[in-house]
Structure 1
Amino acid sequence: MNFKDLTNKALISDQDIDWEDLGAGVKRKIMAYDNALMLVKVAFEKDAIGTIHNHPHLQMSYVAKGSFEVTMGDDKKVLNEGDVFFAPTMVFHGVICLEAGLLIDIFNPHREDFLK
């Protein structure tokens, strides 16, 4: 692979990627991925819900903006800008957006279901 090919995949401008409207005040941008890793921006309007779910992927989420009530298994905690949550494989988790916000989600491996 030459440098130009690598640069096209490695240097990504936010403005070049459209938001995908998921409905109910939630939208996402798949910023980058390969087989092992995926980074996704997820924007929430106030009171929007990231429904409780689980998946086989490891997930780390960084609260880039706003405030979220995060449920992880049997635990709940309010997380704010700069905070992080980690969702291990198959652990049920979800969020309620308390103040309009943005999560930066990282998955291992990538979420094939997001690409369909």
Structure 2
Amino acid sequence: MNFKDLTNRTLITDNKLDWQELGEGVKRKVMPFDDNLMLVKVSFEKGAIGTIHNHPHLQLSYVAKGSFEVTMGDDIKILNEGDVFFAPTLVYHGVVCLEAGLLIDIFNPHREDFL
């Protein structure tokens, strides 16, 4: 999909976008974005790991499906469908998928490294 066309950035049909295989049971789909905001779907197989990392972006993640052990700084908590975590700028965070799941990630500003 060509995101340079405004219509394609404002009215998104999920099945027109391809998953990007990241390996080891993780794949992502970049959804709409502009310079300030980006939504990304991240699918995890059971046991897959979202490695501990940090970045200058603000991140909100909604657990759309499954169960995840989430590390946020020094805190670790199990989050399930309907739960949310917030990763402030430069705070180390990561996940371990306990039950096959899907995270909906929102970033500000957008993640240039995902494009």
What is the CA deviation profile of residues 30-84 of structure 1, one whole-angstrom value per residue up to 9, with x for unaligned ones?
0111000000000000000000000000000000000000000000000000000
In structure 2, the residue matched to 1:106 is: 106
The 5-angstrom pairing of residues 18-57 of structure 1 reads 18-57=18-57
What is the alpha-carbon distance in structure 2 between the residues aligned to residue 9 and residue 28 of structure 1?
Answer: 17
Confirm whether residue 93 of structure 1 aligns to residue 93 of structure 2: yes
State the TM-score, normalized to the length of structure 2.
0.94
What is the alpha-carbon distance in structure 2 between the residues aligned to residue 110 and residue 15 of structure 1?
Answer: 22
Counting matched residue pairs gives 111
What is the alpha-carbon distance in structure 2 between the residues aligned to residue 9 and residue 71 of structure 1?
Answer: 32
Structure 1 spans left out of the alignment, 5+ residues: none
For the Cα contact (< 8 Å) 2:9–2:33, is it kept in 1? no
Shift of 1:9: 2.1
Identity of aligned residues (%): 80
- SS state at 2:46 partner: coil
What is the alpha-carbon distance in structure 2 between the residues aligned to residue 62 and residue 20 of structure 1?
Answer: 19
In structure 2, the residue matched to 1:61 is: 61
Shift of 1:8: 3.0
83-92 vs 8-17, which deviates more? 8-17
Q: Structure 1 residue runs of 4+, over 4 Å off?
A: none
- SS state at 1:70 partner: strand
What is the alpha-carbon distance in structure 1 between the residues aligned to residue 9 and residue 93 of structure 2?
Answer: 31
What is the alpha-carbon distance in structure 2 between the residues aligned to residue 57 and residue 95 of structure 1?
Answer: 17
Shift of 1:112: 0.4
Structure number with bigger Rg: 1
What is the alpha-carbon distance in structure 1 between the residues aligned to residue 44 and residue 70 of structure 2?
Answer: 13
- SS state at 1:96 partner: strand
RMSD value over aligned CA atoms? Answer: 0.8
Instruction: Give the letter for the 2:10 counterpart.
Output: A
